[in-house]
Amino acid sequence: MSGKAYLSVSAEVKAALAAGKAVVALESTIITHGMPYPQNLEMARDVEDVVRATGAVPATITIMDGRLCVGVSGEDLERLAQEGHKAAKASRRDVAALLASGEMAGTTVATTMQIAALAGIKVFATGGIGGVHRGAEESFDISADLEELGRTPVAVICAGAKSILDIGKTLEVLETNGVPVLGFGTDQFPAFWARESGFGVDHRFDDAEGVAHMLAIQSDLGMGGVLIVNPIPEADAWEASAIEGFITQALADAEAKGIKGKAATPFLLQRIFELTGGKSLASNIALVKNNARVAGEIAVALAERTTPKQPAVKFI
């Protein structure tokens, strides 16, 4: 049985893919575990509107009712947002078990890539990728996102890696997995809330057409995913030194409570939200919208490159 047997693709997304139109995948752990209700529902709808404004079709992805759902909307999207932390957080290792149990789950970057590729979607927008956690030399806590990027042919647009991670080691693992890291209008690898991390990117592109050209070649070569990093807008960015103080406190709190593994990132994001008086959430929403806009532009440019041109009609 093909994995596609478990797919449920919305009519809108199915029609867009059949017509060769631009589609942008959107993950759902940002809805279930990234922010509270009702801000998460408002954010999800706003992000979809941003994608539509570029001419692309949004496809929010989740696991629900024993199905891999692509293009979740309406009552199902609201149900997902209300479920929040009660929903599972699904990485690749969890998918089969969640389908078997029928449990609702938000999909991580890795799982969203997997499902997007299964549905034929080539571009995916998120907030920030997972990576190598600080202290990974002892904990071995490394996100499955990094290996997925090396094997699954989906372009991921994000604001870099979350500042709670070890960014240097994250970039080393991406290199090991053969993942090209492209800077969209930047030579610097961004650190989620901060525009710069002190680390560079592999290649810089300044427009969607250039990225689409590269992605088309990557696809022709049969290679894996591509990471496209897009800095948070300047008006919403934090100075790296300012956010670092909050991160250090949040990490100490997580260690004191013994919080590790897949529970670590949601806890740290919530704790940083508390420590910043909610300002980190506003920045988070701004960068997600910015990534959705860039992803939409890239998806449209890629669709224009790959959709065969119809021959001109001649009238006699």
What residues act catalytically? 27, 162
Distance, in Å, from the CA atom of 90 to the CA atom of 111, rounded to the nearest integer, reads 7
Residues in the chain, how many? 316
The first and second tokens of residue 43, run together, are: 């954010």
Nearest-CA neighbor of 35 among 249, 236, 282? Answer: 282
Structure letter (DSSP) for residue 71: S
DSSP 134-202: TTHHHH--B-HHHHHHHHS--EEEESBB-TTB-HHHHHHHHHHTT--EEEES-SB--BTTBS--S-B-S
Distance, in Å, from the CA atom of 134 to the CA atom of 251, rounded to the nearest integer, reads 9
Distance, in Å, from the CA atom of 68 to the CA atom of 111, rounded to the nearest integer, reads 10
Distance, in Å, from the CA atom of 6 to the CA atom of 242, rounded to the nearest integer, reads 45
Q: What is the SS3 assignment for 189-232?
A: CCECCECCCCCECCEEECCHHHHHHHHHHHHHCCCCCEEEECCC
The first and second tokens of residue 177, run together, are: 């997995």
Question: Residue 52 half-sphere exposure, CB side, CA atoms within 13 Å?
Answer: 11
SS3 of residue 68 by DSSP:
strand
Nearest-CA neighbor of 230 among 269, 262, 195, 178? Answer: 195
